Structure 1
Amino acid sequence: MAHTPVNHPARPIFRAIGGLTGLYLVAFGALGIIASAGGDLFAQDDTRVLGQGTNLGFSLLSILLGGAILAGTVIGRNLDVLINQWLAYVVMAVSLAGLAFIRTEANIFNFSVVTVIVLMVIGLVLLMVGMYGKVGTDDEREAWEKARLVL
């Protein structure tokens, strides 16, 4: 897409922020597994990790998402951009679904309002990282700059 920056000067910083986001999700998931050990997979109890409601199922999902983000960050080559953008939409959709079902029996991930807010922020950070992390050739960079100047 012509409006997505290519070879942005702050790309390494955005890539590091994406890696830290994946690391946070893995750490949260690991702490969640420790805190919810022995419980049901989709238990709806008062288990809290880092102030967020969680259960074993959501902890495993967090580790899976964080691992995918970390793998994309390590591999690079615009695969991280693709992973970050798609997972941003997934995380935001899960966050909104969690908000919709927060006080019902359908709250299978034991979300709290804090969990919803943190997931929405993580989704927005991943979207930002995905938009500014694209690497390309000099021709692609020049095409982006020309398109930017036209607008």
Structure 2
Amino acid sequence: MHTPVNHPAQPIYRAIGGLTGLYLLVFGVLGFFASSGEPFIGRGDTQILGQGTNLGFSVFSVVVGGIVLAGTAIGRNLDVLINQWSAYLIMVVSLAGLSFLRTEANLFNMNVTTVVVLMAASLVLLMAGMYGKVGSDDEHEAWQKARLVL
């Protein structure tokens, strides 16, 4: 009930979520071409846009970016759900990458820059998911009343 409904900047948040999905998709495609021919979860020196990557992480980025873009294109509050759950997934992956950064368990070949960019992208997607909800006038009024209760 505390998630804003019909926020005045909802179209801007939706566009920001779409741009974040586009970034993930472009990063994944560039990483896919740069790391093709290497092992799927290999640890190498492949970097795209200053971020470490491998074929597995590139495929992950393409899939998540494509899902976010599809949700943005469909709308109807599906984008809100997709943005929020994608944000949580990316947070978990980035924190796991940070945990295993200098070990052999670094399956996605991440570096610190990758972790920071992924965490920023996840926070942007979470923000877009929280402020992008569209609803009826009754839902908006209920949100306004719940917001004003102390």
Q: Do they fold alike, i.e. is TM over 0.5?
A: yes
Identity of aligned residues (%): 71
Any unmatched runs of 5+ in structure 2?
none
Distance, in Å, in 1 between the alignment partners of 2:47 and 2:94 is 17
Distance, in Å, in 1 between the alignment partners of 2:29 and 2:81 is 25
Q: What residue is the counterpart of 2:8 in the other structure?
A: 9
Give the number of equivalent residue pairs.
150
Whether 1:65 and 2:64 are equivalent positions in the alignment is yes
CA deviation vs aligned residue, 1:17-59 (integer Å, no higher than 9, x gap) = 0000000000000100111111110110110000000000000
Moved over 2 A (4+): none
CA deviation vs aligned residue, 1:86-145 (integer Å, no higher than 9, x gap) = 110110010000000010010010000000000000110010000000000000000000
Q: What residue is the counterpart of 2:127 in the other structure?
A: 128
Query: Does the residue aligned with 2:25 lie in a helix, a strand or coil?
Result: helix
User: In structure 1, what residue type is equivalent to 2:42?
Assistant: A
Q: What residue is the counterpart of 2:41 in the other structure?
A: 42
CA deviation vs aligned residue, 1:55-99 (integer Å, no higher than 9, x gap) = 000000000000000000000000000000011011001000000
Any unmatched runs of 5+ in structure 1?
none
TM-score of the superposed pair, with normalisation by structure 1: 0.98
Distance, in Å, in 2 between the alignment partners of 1:130 and 1:149 is 22
Q: What residue is the counterpart of 2:101 in the other structure?
A: 102
CA RMSD, 1 decimal:
0.5
TM-score of the superposed pair, with normalisation by structure 2: 0.99
Distance, in Å, in 2 between the alignment partners of 1:86 and 1:104 is 28
User: In structure 1, what residue type is equivalent to 2:59?
Assistant: L
